[in-house]
Amino acid sequence: MKIAVVCANGRAGKLIVKEALSRGLDVTAIVRGENITEAPNSLKKDIFDLTGADLRGFDVVVDAFGVWTPEKLPQHSSSLKHLCDLLSHSNTRLLVVGGAGSLYTNKEHTACVADSPDFPAAFKPLAAAMAKALQELRARGDVKWTYISPAGDFQAEGEKSGKYIRGGEELTLNSKGESVISYADYAIAVVDEAIKGHNIGRRISVVRE
């Protein structure tokens, strides 16, 4: 299986590359600068400069794009649209490293995590931008996409437990009543989805067991 990880130099991207390599997959890191991942194969290119030819031949493309400054937040939508346009009507699957703010907190799917009064105000613009990108992705019937939301507490330096629970559109808590997952365990879930591919056209979520 051939996998490309876009924006692979980021914290999530590097761990996804590492996990995929540990499973014996053929991984290419797509990076803007010097490749600092463990991938032996790399392509130095900005996400917005990628072409269809660059992504041809991959079984899975993982989108690990992320920006946080206010002026760049619209790029969550524009970068995802660009990747979708490149993969339109192809057999290549697109896995998107998503956010938790858009996970629903009720069965009617009328309220989400970002609506909660204790959701940090500083993160509301980011959550809104990522939620908008997800809504636009849902309309893409021409792409084999899967959107993977982490738990509410997404820990960059968290330990790798090797165990996680897969949920769906709603915020899922573990047996301790927690919504938490490390980047390392999230990477396991992403690679599992890359290999199995059971959730095309769906948003799934993951939480530490």
3-state secondary structure 6-64: ECCCCHHHHHHHHHHHHCCCEEEEEECCCCCCCCCEEEECCHHHCCHHHHCCCCEEEEC
pLDDT of residue 101: 98
Q: Which of 27, 90, 82, 4 is nearest to 49 (CA)?
A: 82
Q: Give, in degrees to the nearest 5, the angle at Cα 32 between 31 and 35.
A: 45
pLDDT digits (tens, 9 = 90+) for 5-36: 999 999 999 999 999 999 999 999 999 999 99
Q: What is the pLDDT along the chain (209 residues), one digit of tens a residue?
A: 999 999 999 999 999 999 999 999 999 999 999 999 999 999 999 999 999 999 999 999 999 999 999 999 999 999 999 999 999 999 999 999 999 999 999 999 999 999 999 999 999 999 999 999 999 999 999 999 999 999 999 999 999 999 999 999 999 999 999 999 999 999 999 999 999 999 999 999 999 99
pLDDT of residue 55: 98
